[in-house]
Amino acid sequence: MSVALIIAAKGNDVTTTQPHRTMQEATALLAEKKIGAVIVTGDDGGVLGILSERDIVRAVGLHGCGVLQDPVSKYMTGRVVTTSMDESIDQVMEQMTAGRFRHLPVIKEGRLAGVISIGDVVKHRLDGLESEHRAMREYIATA
């Protein structure tokens, strides 16, 4: 089972922002799209960072609501771990567990081609278990 399978199911739409955008704008984007993180990209579309709801909560908690007027670049994580279409879901889970994050941008031919969240991984796992159980029930019923 690979990353490509999840991207094929959910699509390769990625919500992005730019480093000069304010934290307020990024927060509004997360709320509007009902997502937990935005990928920060440069003019050429390259990945410069990731800003998740945790970064926003941490910034507000430590420095107050004034941070909402600051640029995203100040609080984003700059060293982004990415994955590729041919990586396995098990590898993705390992990366998320080891890095303690819940989002992985997918890079294809040097370009952003999607994002996998922990929610996608859990859904994929549950769907797999469901088909396994169905196959098992059918096997038992016809045996």
Half-sphere exposure at residue 41, Cβ-oriented, CA atoms within 13 angstroms: 16
Minimum CB–partner distance for residue 42 and ligand AMP (Å): 16
Which tokens is 23 given? 């934290």
Nearest to 119 by CA among 10, 28, 32, 27: 10
> Is 124 an interacting residue with respect to ligand AMP (CB under 6 A)?
no
Q: Say if CB 72 and CB 19 are below 8 A apart.
A: yes
> Which stretches does DSSP call E strand in the chain?
16-17, 37-41, 47-52, 83-84, 103-108, 111-117
- Interacting residue with ligand AMP among 10, 102, 108, 123 (CB under 6 A): 102
Q: How far apart are the C-alpha atoms of 115 and 5, rounded to whole Å?
A: 12
> Is 48 an interacting residue with respect to ligand AMP (CB under 6 A)?
no
Minimum CB–partner distance for residue 128 and ligand AMP (Å): 23
SS (H, E, C) 27-59: HHHHHHHCCCEEEEECCCCCEEEEEEHHHHHHH
Interface region with ligand AMP, contact rule CB under 6 A, candidates 4-12, 14-22, 24-32, 97-105: 97-105
- Interacting residue with ligand AMP among 101, 114, 120, 124 (CB under 6 A): 101
- Interacting residue with ligand AMP among 47, 50, 112, 121 (CB under 6 A): 50
> Is 23 an interacting residue with respect to ligand AMP (CB under 6 A)?
no
| Beta carbon nearer to ligand AMP, 97 or 131 | 97
Which residues of this protein are in contact with ligand AMP, per CB under 6 A?
A: 36-37, 50, 52-55, 77, 80-81, 99, 101-104
